[in-house]
Amino acid sequence: MKRVTEDHQDYFFDSENANKYLNDAKNGSKVRYSNFLSALRKLDIKGKYLEIGCGPGVLTQIIAKQHPDAEIIANDISPEMIKLARQDLVEDLTSRVKYVIGDACDINSMKDLGKFDLIYSTFTLHHWDNAEVAIKNLHSMLNENGLLYIHDLKRVIGLYHIKSEHGFFKSIKASYKPGEIKVMLNNLGIKDYKIKAVFPYFMQSIVIRK
């Protein structure tokens, strides 16, 4: 079950695709994000949050409302996504939410953002060009005792073999198995982590404590 990567940049840099993603994320936000949101609610982390690969910012705004004291910086590699996220941001949240262009795999594009109590990312790990470098970068941006929370698809056999050009099945093929994530964390010398199986069975969360 070899990992098959996606060509994400062409897709998310296109304005039409970015707009489509915004609509889909808004319409499907309950299904997409509810498990992640309830995990975050229970953790109740105070302070500064960094969201990586925020897309058009649908989740960012939900999190800002759910955590009214949090200050959130949200980044995305796609200028088109950041443009949409800025346009869509409601007035009430402009003092606490900032959108910036950045690449998780390039520390120079993020190093001026500072340190964070929570760094999170949903449905992006399988898009990162070099996931190990990205995790290293994000881990270095955590405050002491801060949390890196990555929520993404998992390469599972039942879905891997479905023959379909649909984006979801391509993303399943590009996603990681828990064992592959363990190897990356081991290479980075990160010891304080959990890889959680999440409902439904093709989802997983990687939770790393600094």
User: Where do contacts with ligand SAM occur on this chain (CB under 6 A)?
Assistant: 8, 12, 25, 52-55, 58-59, 75-78, 81, 103-105, 122-124, 127-128
For ligand SAM, the closer CB: 61 or 75: 75
Element (H, E) at 104: none
**Alpha-carbon distance 192 to 206, whole Å?**
11
For ligand SAM, the closer CB: 144 or 165: 165
Residue with tokens 């200028």: 79
CB of 30 to ligand SAM, least distance (A): 13
> What are the start-end ranges of the H helices in 73-202?
79-88, 131-140, 157-160, 167-174, 178-187
For ligand SAM, the closer CB: 105 or 208: 105
Give the Cβ contact number of residue 117 at 10 Å: 19
Half-sphere exposure (CA, 13 Å, Cβ side) for 113? 33
**Alpha-carbon distance 189 to 35, whole Å?**
28
For ligand SAM, the closer CB: 13 or 160: 13
CB of 5 to ligand SAM, least distance (A): 11
CB of 38 to ligand SAM, least distance (A): 15
CB of 53 to ligand SAM, least distance (A): 3
**Alpha-carbon distance 100 to 52, whole Å?**
10
For ligand SAM, the closer CB: 130 or 192: 130
Q: Among candidates 144, 141, 118, 135, which has minimal Cα distance to 63?
A: 118
For ligand SAM, the closer CB: 54 or 181: 54
CB of 124 to ligand SAM, least distance (A): 4
Q: Among candidates 52, 46, 107, 39, which has minimal Cα distance to 71?
A: 46
**Alpha-carbon distance 71 to 20, whole Å?**
27
CB of 143 to ligand SAM, least distance (A): 21
